[in-house]
Structures are given as C-alpha cells and as structure tokens.
Amino acid sequence: MMPRTCIFRAAMAAACCLLLASCQYKELCYDHKHIGTVQVIFDWSLYPDAHPSGMTVLFYPAAPEAPTRADEETTAIRYDFSGHNGGSARLVEGQYQAVGYNNNTEAIRFRGMGSVATLEAFTRNSSITEGTKLFATKGEMPRAKGTEEEIVILEPDLLWGGAGLQFLVEVDGNHTTTVQPRELVREMVITIYNVPNLQYTSGLGASLTGLAGSVFLADGHMGEDHVTQAFEMRKIDETTIQARFNTFGHCPHADEGLENDHALVLYAVLADGTQWYFTTDVTEQLHDPDLNPEDTHHMEVDIEEDIPIPKPIVNGSGFQPTIDGWQGVEIEVGM
C-alpha cells in the first residue's frame, strides 16, 4: 500500500499536467507610458521687471476633439515651478497647448478650467465695507444711484498670464514651449485734491462702478460682468487723498461700441462719528484716450474740485447734521 504522501504527490502531478494541456501560453504585457520631456520657457521681454515667486503651467490636450466651448471640459495637467523662469515637465506623447500664470496670489480664483479658451480669472464677491475697511460705521454704506445691483468684488492681485502655441510631444523626445505672459490687471490711481478738513476725518474710503469682473488668461480679454470695487483712500498731504488699486479693466464691451458709466463714491467718517458720502461721475476721464489710452495698464483719475467735507461738531461748533446715518452730496466734476 502506497503511503498517503506519495498518493498526494501523484495527484498533484496529474492535475498540473491537465492544466498545462488545457491552457494556452500568453506573453505578459506591461503598460509602458510613452513619455517625452518638455522645457517650459517664460518670455518676460514685455515685463523685464516682473519677478513673481512662482509660476503654474496647465497643459491642455490639443487633439481635434479637445473642448473649445465653456460647456465642455477636459483635464489639464498641472505643473508648478518656483521662480519665474519655468522648468521641465514630462508628458505622455500627444499634442498640447500650455497656459501659464503666476501663482503667488491670494484673491485670484479660476473658472472655466475645461479649455484654454474658457480659462478665466476672477475674485470672490466682497462688499463696500470690506473694501473700504470702514467697519465701525452705522447703517448700510450707500451705493451710486442706479448701480445698487452691481456685484462688489475683491481687488485682484497682480496677475500675469498667457498661452503658448500648440506643440507635439513624442516618445523620449525633448521639446520646448514658450509662454509670453502679459499683465492681466490694470492699476488704477485716483487722486482727489483740495479736500478740506482732512484733519478731522477718522476714516476714508471710496468705490468705483462699471469695472470688469474677470479676465481670460489666454488672450487677456475682459469678462462680460459689470462690477463695483471698493478701496481705501489714504492721505497724501493736508489736502490730498489717493487710492491705488488693481482692476481687471473697464468697459469689457468697448469693442462693440458699448461703454460703461463710472461713478466714484467717496466715504468720509468724521471724528464726531458723522458719516458723509460724495458721488461724482468720472466716466469722461476714464474714457478720454488722451488721459487713459486703451493699451495702457495704468489708469488715472484726478479730481480737483472742492469736496465739501465739513468740520466735526466740537464743543457745539462746526456743521450740525440734521439726520442720522450717511449724508450724501453730489459733486460736479469737470475735465
């Protein structure tokens, strides 16, 4: 009689023979991704003094079926680089287009991420109070007449961006793509001269209507929304105040012959707690091509008319307000 161990071994050998006879041999296949290296170069020749601390590049597949409309989406491949010069990335073979922008921002947000054409920078909704930093005021801060429904947005950070040309990545190849960033925000400087009684003010701020609410990264054109931005006003000297802030621009429909109206509202809180606001129309200045050419990224508004800020009530003297809350004055501004 055979030992049980021998019987078991014999059975296993027979089973293996049956398996080998019934199976076909298949070669193992490993999924090798076909990778190429791309060197990203940022061309700062338009802005040689720009030195952002970090840059982001989104590589969008540029196949014929790639999305081109806002209601379609694709997934971009993201690379972040320290400094502003660029760096290398490794991509699966195929056709791509790169969009680059500086990532050392806090307020900037993005939407329309599905394609190069729809990638848009914007900022979150804000308020007149947040923008002016006049938090201790009483009552809702007034808006320019007719613009009460405009969204108030947060000031955008300094932003550069742009898109490169399409390029092909081949297996084990070394490739280069160049992105030339453009400045995507515009600096606005508002200066008000001949302002009386500044020594009696405890807080100053302002708002400006009819601005663009966003910008598209690929070509720098403005979004369609009309928004308001609010900001602090700072004393420059005994009779001058000034604000300097970033916007996405104004009049996004100017190419269609449509221009926005722009109302400036100055807010002043006096030492006695009274609150004043002064509204003026600065549309003519902003639209004057001699003062603010369309291709400039620096815009200025100068107001030289007297802004009638009153003296506060001290020991019974000074201007006596007759109502509580914000008291308004319309100011006519000439060129």
Question: Tens digits of per-residue pLDDT, 266-275?
Answer: 999 999 889 9
State the pLDDT at residue 254: 59
φ/ψ of 279, rounded to 5, equals -110, 135
Query: Looking at residues 288-304, what average pLDDT do you find?
Result: 87
Tokens of 178: 């160049």
Residue 25 pLDDT grade (very low, low, confident, very high; cuts 50, 70, 90): very low
94, 207, 209 from 151: Cα distances, Å: 42, 12, 9
- Range of weakest confidence among 5-9, 276-280, 314-318: 5-9
Domain boundaries, the chain: 35-330
Residue 8 pLDDT grade (very low, low, confident, very high; cuts 50, 70, 90): very low
Closest-CA residue to 201 (of 278, 144, 124, 301): 278
CA atoms within 13 A on the CB side of 80: 6
Residue 62 pLDDT grade (very low, low, confident, very high; cuts 50, 70, 90): confident
- Range of weakest confidence among 23-27, 74-78, 210-214: 23-27
Residue 55 to residue 42: CA distance in whole angstroms: 9
Residue 149 to residue 133: CA distance in whole angstroms: 21
Residue 203 pLDDT grade (very low, low, confident, very high; cuts 50, 70, 90): very high
Cβ atoms 84, 181 nearer than 8 A? no
Cβ atoms 151, 223 nearer than 8 A? no
pTM for the model: 0.83
Query: Looking at residues 24-52, what average pLDDT do you find?
Result: 77
Helix, strand, coil proportions of the chain in percent (round to 5)? 10, 40, 50
Residue 121 to residue 123: CA distance in whole angstroms: 7
Query: Looking at residues 227-252, what average pLDDT do you find?
Result: 94
Cβ atoms 299, 286 nearer than 8 A? yes
Residue 298 to residue 249: CA distance in whole angstroms: 10
State the pLDDT at residue 29: 39
Query: Looking at residues 285-307, what average pLDDT do you find?
Result: 87
Closest-CA residue to 160 (of 299, 293, 44): 44
Tokens of 165: 């040309």
Query: Looking at residues 298-304, what average pLDDT do you find?
Result: 93
State the pLDDT at residue 332: 77
Residue 150 to residue 128: CA distance in whole angstroms: 11
Query: Looking at residues 168-183, what average pLDDT do you find?
Result: 92
Between 64 and 221, whose confidence is greater? 221
CA–CA–CA angle 155, 156, 157 (5° rounding):
120
State the pLDDT at residue 247: 97
**Options 3.10.129.10, 2.60.40.2100, 3.10.20.30, 2.70.70.10; which CATH number does 35-330 get?**
2.60.40.2100
Asked whether the predicted pLDDT for residue 9 surpasses 70, the reply is: no
Cβ atoms 221, 251 nearer than 8 A? no
Give the sheet arrangement for strand 109-111, strand by strand.
109-111, 120-122, 214-216
Asked whether the predicted pLDDT for residue 2 surpasses 70, the reply is: no
Give the sheet arrangement for strand 298-303, strand by strand.
234-237, 240-247, 186-192, 298-303
